[in-house]
Amino acid sequence: MPNKIYYILGLTLIILALGNSIVSDIDEVMASDQDGWIISDWRSSGGPYGGEITSIAQDPNNPNDIYVGTPEGLFKSFDKGENWYHLGVSDYEINDIAVSSQNPDQVYLGANDGLYISEDGGVTWDFFEGDLKGEKVNFIDRASDPIFRETILVGTEEGAYISRTGGRSFTLIGYEGKNVTAGLIDSNKPEFVFLAVEDKGLVSSDNRGLNWTKLSNDYVGEVLSISVNPAFPYIMFIGTTNGIYSSYDSGVNWDHSGFLGIPVHDIWMDPKSPIHIMIATEGEGVKRSSTGADSWETVHKDLQNKEFNIILKDQDDPDRFFLGTSDVGIVSLNLKEQDFRVLNEGLTTYINNLIVSKNNPDNVVAVSDAEVFFTLDGGNEWSELFTSRPDAIHLWQNKKEDDDEQLYFVKDDTMYISDWDFNLEEIDLSNFVNQIYQISVHPKDSDEIWVGTNEGVYRSKDRGETWEQIGLSDSFIEYLNISYDSDLGQTVLYAGGYSGVYRYHENFENEEADEDKTKEKYGSYGEFTKIIDDKEYAISELEVPTLNPRKVWVGTLGKGVYYSEDAGEGFEAFNTGLIGSEEDYFPRVVDITTYENDPDKVLVALESGIYYSSNRDDDWDLVNDINHRVESLDVHFEPPTSLYIGTSEGVYYHEAYEIPYLGWDEEEHFTLENPEIYRFSEEFKLENETDKTQEDLVFMAPRVLNHGIYQFHYDYDIDPKPEEVITLDEHLEKDQKGYNIDDYWFEIGNELLVFTKDELEPGETWEISVENETVVFETYYDLDAMDPKPYDRESEFYKLYTSSDEVSQSDNETIEELASEVVEGAQGPIEKASKIFDWVKDYLEYVPPGNVGALEAYETGKGVCADYSDLFVALARAEGIPARRLSGYYISGPEDGQYHAWAEFYVEGYGWVPVEPTFEAWYSDYFGEIPDTSHIFMSYGVVRHEFSSNLSFSETFDIERVSLGEMDFKQEDLFELLKEHELSEPETENSDENQDDENDNPNNSYENENVITTKVGSDTLKVGSETISMDVESYIVDGRTMVPLRFIADSMGADVDYLSEEKEVSILLDKKEITLPLEGDTAKVNDKEMELEVAPELLEGRTMVPLRFINEQLGAYVEYENETQKIIIHN
């Protein structure tokens, strides 16, 4: 069992403890199996929100559902933009979205890597494998069609395509090899199609693309948008990079209608009154005209001078528009009331720079492409600081005293300086003639500011009032680091850019220095020494510890990380352990951060993930993979250590949970899997409802416990702090106990939190909050492998857990007789417990409110979870089997749950075995296993709360699940949202035949194709009209159809080669080489590793592979007929 856990979580054992451990204990813990292990997790900070919107689409049948595309993925709202949920889909920029008018669950998405289609409202997506596969999609348009129901137009960088089969197939309709940048189908006459073709201009067709007519090109600029009035189709407008043009003769002549030199990205024309027009411009906001484009006005004074990309008219509100911006997300505008709102909750934005306080890890600044945000609570709430991106940013920490910090921002012709209260000090830079790109502040003096510009390095010693050029006047400075050598009193500068990296040093203030030692370490005073040729390294990042200028780290664009410990005189590659080290080509290094107190401890951010090293003699260790491109990294190293990264989807931060060694590797009879972390809080409220002051008040509540096997209580926070915590020993020592709890409750392991208050005025409330952090595992016991030993019936333990108590009356005559009857014929405690378990589940009916105890539950045949558990415990104890009830919380949904109880029985030599008599599922009967992480254990037996009389008592319970290893919005959570909005939930556990069916060739006409047919369980294969006998039948494993590779591949014209020494099979089809392991579940496609959902199997000498793999990798369309189990492969 432990080997499995250590293997599963091995990749998370790198950052270690993210507290003191990251700087002291990492080597020790990683080296010892007896030290426990770490569960670590990247969590989204929940923002900041905003960013660029590239496309918007509204469901024509359900206007509350809106999709938006961004450069970082697809988002969906179920409530008109009040909340957004990330759907992922493509790693590339999304350029357009369209929702079918015929089928509201069918959504089309055009991205830089091709076309995607969803049949379930955006929950799952299929990459289109047809003619336009892999082509960049610039736009998608759709229109109802009286002949074909619906026509879909797609413009790509390789031509225009049209579909009349519901998106199942697309036909090239013109301009093959040409970049089609914009297009439109006439909504009233779908046979009319308009395209904007690069190097060709505007063209139109009146016969669905069979023939094309070139329109006039007497306009200037690239066409970005096309609009044709459906009521008066001869009225046309085009938006170009040079403003807007109008035509009143179907494009024969064009007139410039405003905004010379301003790109117009989108046009909305009132279909009933074409003189009413709105346009989305770049830099001039959204404009409208009521005069047919003769004159223009801004739609709202607060929206002018902004960049807008898209205009979408709300389908069920005549006055509302949704506007997509280039920087601040979605704007909802009510044109009539002149009111607008920003709708960005959940709409994460691209973060390319981060600053984290070295004093308080909750203080963070995040920079997007267009805004600056800050948070003072670790990302729970983000506020906007600047509405445009700064040119340079720096955090300075006082190394002399009290570690106060200052933030420096350079934006346009102003430098802003602030602490974390953001009362900005403004310094005028209008007389500074050069563009500033980097800023660094002297570690010993916050008034000494260095900047990198387009013409070298400048320095100010008076907080930016005056500036002096230091050197490199011919260089564009991209990198700038100031460090201080306290031994020699030297300010050491590292600066560089396209021309390379240079080192410079000078005396700090009037400090005297040993000239010989200084020259030996850093070269001549006041001179720039070139230490790196950028052409050799292709530098992307430079890091120098602020108080250790001899250590220099360099990140590159493709060669990994280099390190120097002699001030750049020599560099060594340090790449072992980084992704790409085997191929010697690495993702871009985007950030390097060193620990100031120990510069050998380094974190490096590649675009693909974060790596850590505590010693240059060791390899890099992966902190954690993350599913988004990493753009920046910053760290608060001092305990508690916090890692923040800026990604294509906002800010993420890293948390780690250290689980102590609990002797798991000595146990072979159970396994723990798929741990989850929960944060849950109990809020207790006591109120004095009398008209008198109440004095000397007491409140007592059970303390959340450590289970010791499948749940570990990691941490808790109690406010206010309890007066004391009563354990069994303290309980037994109290002569005057003052509370109504007997010895037994403490004897079974419970502890009691005691809170006191001197007095409470009439109407006054007393609130107590207890917040817990807990790690929970799925738990599976191998009962068949157990050989129980005899119980020691004289032990105190045995007597305690077989005795009768207030809710499990095991010594009651009725219970004893019933137990004997239930277990009749059973041998041993496991078989007896199993019979009792089955009987309780079958006998009791779940009827609230319950909580009546075992005897009454038996007599009435009714109860709730507590009664199911109490009756199981009573019957087990009556048969001499130690048993106990567990109380806690059950999570029934993302935000739903309730108090719950389940049970355990004890097997001598093996320990406590869990049973859940209330539940049953198709995948488990819950006997000897808890196959979920939704059972949160809190205490044994009955939950006790004691409090002073004359007080009213209430409590609330909140819980948050922290997903491990998954940062995106969870698909199962999305299914819950779909259910809430009465949408259909897609099948997720069906066989892959149903999934493959989503890629069916839509035309159902394959006369010219190679059609292969077979059936599940058949040993024949039909290729065209020829029947081929196979020596093995197809079958299903874990919902996936397994087929013999040799016969399928041969039928499709692929070459198959078995590599016996490597234990692999190689398939070559066209230019694609696929390598499958005979042992394992990782395949290679053109040397790119891909995980198989079901591993290949050898059956009677044949390699069986999942059908889904053939569909995706050998380029086939697959149909599956449910009734006949017939499989049709269209090659």
Say yes or no: 903 and 809 in one domain.
yes
DSSP string for 146-182:
TTTEEEEEEEETTEEEEESSTTS--EEEE-TTS-EEE
**Positive or negative: CA dihedral 867, 873, 876, 878:** negative
Name the band, by pLDDT with cuts 50, 70 and 90, for residue 322: very high
Q: Please give the pLDDT value at position 722.
A: 87
- Of 921, 945, 980, which closes a domain? 921
Say yes or no: 907 and 998 in one domain.
no
- The answer to whether residue 935 is domain-embedded is no
Burial degree of 379 (CB within 10 A; 0-12, 13-18, 19+): buried
- Of 629, 656, 690, which closes a domain? 629
Q: Quick: pLDDT tens for 686-718.
A: 999 999 999 888 888 888 887 777 787 756 778
Q: Please give the pLDDT value at position 1097.
A: 82
Instruction: Identify the bridge partners of residue 49 per DSSP, sorted by sequence position.
Output: 348
Is the per-residue pLDDT at 175 higher than 70? Answer: yes
Say yes or no: 916 and 1008 in one domain.
no
Q: Please give the pLDDT value at position 626.
A: 65
Name the band, by pLDDT with cuts 50, 70 and 90, for residue 226: very high
Say yes or no: 427 and 572 in one domain.
yes
- The answer to whether residue 22 is domain-embedded is no
Is the per-residue pLDDT at 38 higher than 70? Answer: no
Q: Quick: pLDDT tens for 445-464.
A: 999 999 999 999 999 999 99
Q: Quick: pLDDT tens for 789-844.
A: 999 999 999 999 999 998 999 999 999 999 999 999 999 999 999 999 999 999 99
- The answer to whether residue 682 is domain-embedded is no
Q: Quick: pLDDT tens for 975-1034.
A: 343 334 333 333 333 333 333 333 333 333 333 345 778 777 777 777 776 777 777 888
CA–CA distance, 122 with 68 (Å, rounded to integer):
11
Report the range of poorest mean pLDDT among 215-219, 330-334, 886-890, 917-921. 917-921
Q: Which phi and psi angles does 1111 have, rounded to 5°?
A: -60, -45
Say yes or no: 906 and 1035 in one domain.
no
Q: Please give the pLDDT value at position 652.
A: 85
Is the per-residue pLDDT at 240 higher than 80? Answer: yes
Q: Please give the pLDDT value at position 984.
A: 33
Percent of the chain exceeding pLDDT 70 equals: 85
- The answer to whether residue 899 is domain-embedded is yes
Strand 883-893 to 896-907 pairing:
antiparallel
311: Cβ contacts below 8 Å, ≥ 6 apart = 266, 267, 268, 278, 279, 280, 286, 321, 322, 323, 324
- The answer to whether residue 17 is domain-embedded is no
Say yes or no: 484 and 619 in one domain.
yes
Say yes or no: 614 and 470 in one domain.
yes
Residue 440, token pair as written in the block? 């660094």
Say yes or no: 917 and 997 in one domain.
no
Radius of gyration in angstroms for the set of CA atoms belonging to the chain, rounded to a whole number: 35
CA 57 vs CA 60, 67, 75, 713, 1130: distances in Å: 9, 5, 11, 46, 33
**Cβ distance 263 to 224 under 8 Å?**
yes
- Of 563, 597, 629, which closes a domain? 629
CA–CA distance, 265 with 269 (Å, rounded to integer):
14
Q: Please give the pLDDT value at position 656.
A: 55
Say yes or no: 1024 and 909 in one domain.
no
Report the range of poorest mean pLDDT among 55-69, 429-443, 1081-1095. 1081-1095
21: Cβ contacts below 8 Å, ≥ 6 apart = 29, 658
Q: Please give the pLDDT value at position 729.
A: 82
**Cβ distance 1081 to 1094 under 8 Å?**
yes
Say yes or no: 997 and 917 in one domain.
no
Q: Which phi and psi angles does 836 have, rounded to 5°?
A: -65, -45
Name the band, by pLDDT with cuts 50, 70 and 90, for residue 624: low
Is the per-residue pLDDT at 1063 higher than 60? Answer: yes
| Prior bond of 48 cis (ω within 30°) | yes
Is the per-residue pLDDT at 297 higher than 90? Answer: yes
What is the count of structural domains for the chain? 4
Nearest to 501 by CA among 525, 541, 532: 532
- The answer to whether residue 1085 is domain-embedded is yes
Q: Please give the pLDDT value at position 986.
A: 33
Q: The domain that contains 478 carries what CATH number?
A: 2.130.10.10
Is the per-residue pLDDT at 581 higher than 90? Answer: no
Q: Please give the pLDDT value at position 312.
A: 93
Say yes or no: 911 and 1035 in one domain.
no
For the question of whether the overall pTM of this predicted structure is more than 0.85, the answer is no
- The answer to whether residue 956 is domain-embedded is no
**Cβ distance 967 to 43 under 8 Å?**
yes
Q: The domain that contains 1080 carries what CATH number?
A: 3.30.457.10
Say yes or no: 201 and 82 in one domain.
yes
Q: Please give the pLDDT value at position 674.
A: 74
Is the per-residue pLDDT at 504 higher than 90? Answer: yes
- The answer to whether residue 958 is domain-embedded is no
Name the band, by pLDDT with cuts 50, 70 and 90, for residue 1124: low
683: Cβ contacts below 8 Å, ≥ 6 apart = 767, 768, 769, 955, 956, 957, 958
- Three-class SS of residue 206? coil
Q: Which domain holds residue 590?
A: 398-629
DSSP state of 200: T
